[in-house]
Amino acid sequence: MKTTTKWTKLNVFAAVFFSACVALSFSPDLVYADDFGRIVHHIEASYNVHRNYRFLMGFAGVVVKFWHVGGVKSMKIAIFEDQHLDGTDTDKKLDEIIARASKSGWQPMVRSISRRNGEHVYIYGQQAGKDMKLLVVNVEPNEAEVIQVRVDPDKLDQFLDENMHHSERNRHSGTSGAMTFF
């Protein structure tokens, strides 16, 4: 009797799981629930390209989640390197996708489109409690980057003050003025 009940529960679970997978496969808005995911998916689908260093960027995001360097609490990065990202129709669609981000609470900070070299740069900001979220999208004819970070502004300011003073001391003592991160 127990064996039959166990298999029945397993069959019900498998049916529900399969149904959920099918439903999610037909609705990309559910799969890519945040703006970062939607933008990355749009770039991949419209330009027929794939992210580079996906595992490495995911690992960097996990490291940042546990070790808050400079006040950065979370980070998502998608890099598309040495790929063909050119097309005026897809560029218009990209503008529309990124404009939709403002409906999710993102405030546009910078928008730069160069007709000469085809570069599109968008920077959006959003208040998240006491933290600040930034969404940066840069698309060029041969590469693209999508970056989303959540930063504690007070810790970022403290980090910059400490490292800028360190840099000034090195410059006055005759050593290199480059910042060092430990």
Q: What is the pLDDT of residue 150?
A: 95
Residues 122 and 138 in one domain: yes
Average of per-residue pLDDT values in the chain: 78
Q: What is the CA radius of gyration of the chain?
A: 22
The letter for the amino acid at 182 is F
Residues 5 and 58 in one domain: no
pLDDT tens digits, residue range 126-165? 998 899 999 999 988 899 999 999 999 999 888 888 888 7
Q: What is the pLDDT of residue 14?
A: 59
Phi-psi region of 105 (alpha: psi -120 to 50; beta: other; left: phi over 0): left
Helix (H) or strand (E) holding 146: strand 144-151
Residues 99 and 23 in one domain: no
- For residue 79, tell me if it sits in a domain: yes
Instruction: Report the distance separating Cα 82 and Cα 84, nearest Å.
Output: 7
CB 179 within 8 A of CB 165: no
Residues 5 and 60 in one domain: no
Q: What is the pLDDT of residue 31?
A: 47
CB 122 within 8 A of CB 113: no
Residues 54 and 5 in one domain: no
Instruction: Report the distance separating Cα 52 and Cα 143, nearest Å.
Output: 10
Strand partners, 134: 125, 149
CA dist list (Å): 90 to 38, 100, 125: 14, 15, 24
The letter for the amino acid at 50 is H
Residues 52 and 121 in one domain: yes
* Collapsed DSSP state (helix, strand, coil) of residue 113: strand
Phi-psi region of 143 (alpha: psi -120 to 50; beta: other; left: phi over 0): beta
Residues 65 and 118 in one domain: yes
- For residue 161, tell me if it sits in a domain: no
CB 135 within 8 A of CB 106: yes
The pTM for the full model equals: 0.70
- For residue 160, tell me if it sits in a domain: no
Domain housing 21 = 1-28
Backbone torsions φ then ψ of 41, nearest 5 degrees: -60, -40
Instruction: Report the distance separating Cα 88 and Cα 67, nearest Å.
Output: 41
Q: What is the mean pLDDT of residues 112-124?
A: 88
Residues 20 and 39 in one domain: no
* Collapsed DSSP state (helix, strand, coil) of residue 54: helix
